[in-house]
Amino acid sequence: MKKLLIVNMFVLGLFLTACQSISDMSTSNTDKEQTSVSAEKIDWEKAGPDAKANRISFDMVKEDVESGAKFFDVRSAEEYKAGNFGITENFPITDLENGKLPELPKDTKIYVHCLKGIRSAQAVKLLRDAGYTQVFDMGGVEHIEAIGGILE
């Protein structure tokens, strides 16, 4: 009987701890939505390839986009509609693979991301091969979040 009581108390303790952790997570997500990540606080090891190499924060990308740069999300239209970073434009990798290129001057600054970083790397190669000179592989969604992006 004592063993059953101890096991029940242990399970109840785990349940209450798990509920508290979920509550803490939703609070931290709210806090995250209200503040951007400063460059000093970015864990660059979690950033995408070119963000890491060039120390590019989401705020820097946002400023560039406001000044005329492009930030392409190369996921499918369905993935894009399910959630994006608000400053991105959907330009599916399939369009690039089929020869469709952005109608932009070749020296336009272009940032590219996808879900995991595979399609963004492919898109960056296609764009660079087509003569675009300022193309940055920002990696996947988690990489963008690591530099301060918030998926909407």
CATH: 3.40.250.10, 3.40.50.970, 3.90.1300.10, 3.40.190.10. Which one for 43-146? Answer: 3.40.250.10
pTM of the model: 0.76
Q: Which of 21, 11, 144 is nearest to 72 (CA)?
A: 144
132 against 18, higher pLDDT: 132
User: Residues, the chain, total?
Assistant: 152
110 against 9, higher pLDDT: 110
d(CA 31, CA 110): 30
**Is the pLDDT confidence value at 110 over 80?**
yes
**Is the pLDDT confidence value at 22 over 80?**
no
Alpha helices in 55-117 (DSSP H): 58-66, 77-82, 93-97
Q: Give the lowest-confidence range in 29-43, 73-87, 100-114, 135-149.
A: 29-43
Q: Average pLDDT, stretch 89-118?
A: 98
Burial of 7 (0-12, 13-18, 19+ CB in 10 A): exposed
Q: Residue 70: which H helix or E strand, with range?
A: strand 70-73
10 against 130, higher pLDDT: 130
User: Where exactly are the structural domains of the chain?
Assistant: 1-34, 43-146
Q: Average pLDDT, stretch 87-115?
A: 98
